Amino acid sequence: MKDRKEYIIRRAMELYAIKGYQNVSITDLQFALEMGRGTLYYYFKDQDEIFQACMERYFLEPKQRALSNVPNEAGVDDIIACMMAYLHSLEQALLSFEVKTINTSNVNNLMFTAYSKFPALHRKAQRLALKELELWRKALYHDQRLGLIRRDIDREQIALMFTHIKDSYDNGLGQTQMDFSLLEKTYSEFHKLLKNA
């Protein structure tokens, strides 16, 4: 039963990532899954529940795991590594789909839909965003104490800026695959500006 549910989530996510939530009907899901409506409804009560399960599995759960793996006394380099590990896991999951035309624009649209249409998903995403922000704050404080970064910075503002680097990233630009190398470089360059000479 668990394998069948996982299969539904995987195939549904692929369809949502290609066409967008609004353009996928329950009939589209049935066709893509080669599954009757009754079978689908055995595992999920409706299409909204399928979509929410996809968002949980591909966006919220991996980010929760990544943030939970941040070591105590983490510095900025540790948080950057954590966020890049999360993004690379997302990238690998999406690139494992049969269709290779999924880019960050598709992903951003899905996330916007999920968080605007489903308040429970939005609340979970907000909690994770606050946890991430707190980790950036602590990492900046940690590195300041060790003299690794400048003491004259506003930690609160810099922590917010670090979270927005990822949140504002969209390499749409006609590319057919996700590529986070530019994002990794942005994190690195911004970090370099904070370091003591």
More confident residue, 175 or 130: 130
What domains can you pick out in the chain, each with its CATH number? 51-194 (1.10.357)
Task: Give me the DSSP letters along 16-79.
Answer: HHHH-GGG--HHHHHHHHT--HHHHHHH-SSHHHHHHHHHIIIIIHHHHHHHHTPPTT--HHHH
Buried-exposed string 125-148: b where 16+ CB fall within 10 A, e elsewhere: beebeeebeebbbbbbebbbeeeb
Confidence of residue 153 (pLDDT cuts 50, 70, 90): very high
More confident residue, 181 or 74: 74
Q: Report the chain's mean pLDDT, rounded to a whole number.
A: 88
80-112 pLDDT, tens digit per residue, is 999 999 988 888 887 788 776 666 677 788 888
Alpha carbon 91 to its chain's center: 9
Give the residue-averaged pLDDT of 10-20.
90
Q: Is the pLDDT of residue 172 over 50?
A: no
Contact 111, 167 (CB under 8 A): no
Residue 150: Cβ within 10 Å count: 14
Q: Is the pLDDT of residue 173 over 60?
A: no
Tokens of 187: 């994190």
Give the rounded percent of residues in the chain with a pLDDT score beyond 90.
66
CB-based contacts of 154, cutoff 8 Å, min separation 6? none
* Identity of the residue numbered 135: L
Confidence of residue 171 (pLDDT cuts 50, 70, 90): very low
Give the residue-averaged pLDDT of 109-117.
89
Confidence of residue 170 (pLDDT cuts 50, 70, 90): low
Q: What is the pLDDT of residue 100?
A: 63
Q: Is the pLDDT of residue 10 over 50?
A: yes
Whole-model pTM over 0.85:
yes
Q: How far apart are CA 103 and CA 147, in angstroms?
A: 39
Q: What is the pLDDT of residue 179?
A: 64
Closest CA to 144 of 194, 103, 182: 194
Give the residue-averaged pLDDT of 178-182.
71
* Identity of the residue numbered 180: F
